[in-house]
């Protein structure tokens, strides 16, 4: 997708991904946070958050393709004592 600003195109990117458990089962209702990395502050700036759907899918629009971003995933449904391994596929 793109939009036009004074005659020049600015690309708007759809950032889409899926979160799965190690066994391939989709992670439903996981919290996914999008942060823009700020090298001066050495930490991320919160931009947006969402939850995964029943297929483990999430998506964000990114306005600036020249910046670096970080995704954080939190699974509130998991009640095990051990750490859970997740697989994240990006499109």
The tokens describing 30, both together, are 């996981």
Strands 86-90 and 13-21, bridge-based pairing = antiparallel
Look at residue 7 and tell me whether its pLDDT is greater than 70. no
| pTM given for the model | 0.73
pLDDT tens-place string over residues 15-56 = 899 988 888 888 899 999 999 988 787 788 999 999 999 999
Domains and CATH numbers, the chain: 12-77+85-90 (2.60.40)
Question: Distance between CA 45 and CA 84 in Å, rounded?
Answer: 26
Beta bridge partners of 49: 33
């Amino acid at each position: 997708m793109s939009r036009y600003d004074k005659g020049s195109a600015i690309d708007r990117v759809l950032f889409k991904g899926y979160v799965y458990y190690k066994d391939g089962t989709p992670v439903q209702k996981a919290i996914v946070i999008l942060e823009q990395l700020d090298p001066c502050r050495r930490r991320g700036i919160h931009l947006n958050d969402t939850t995964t759907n029943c297929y483990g899918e999430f998506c964000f629009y990114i306005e600036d393709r020249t910046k670096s971003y970080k995704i954080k995933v939190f699974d509130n449904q998991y009640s095990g004592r051990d750490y859970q391994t997740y697989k994240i596929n990006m499109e």
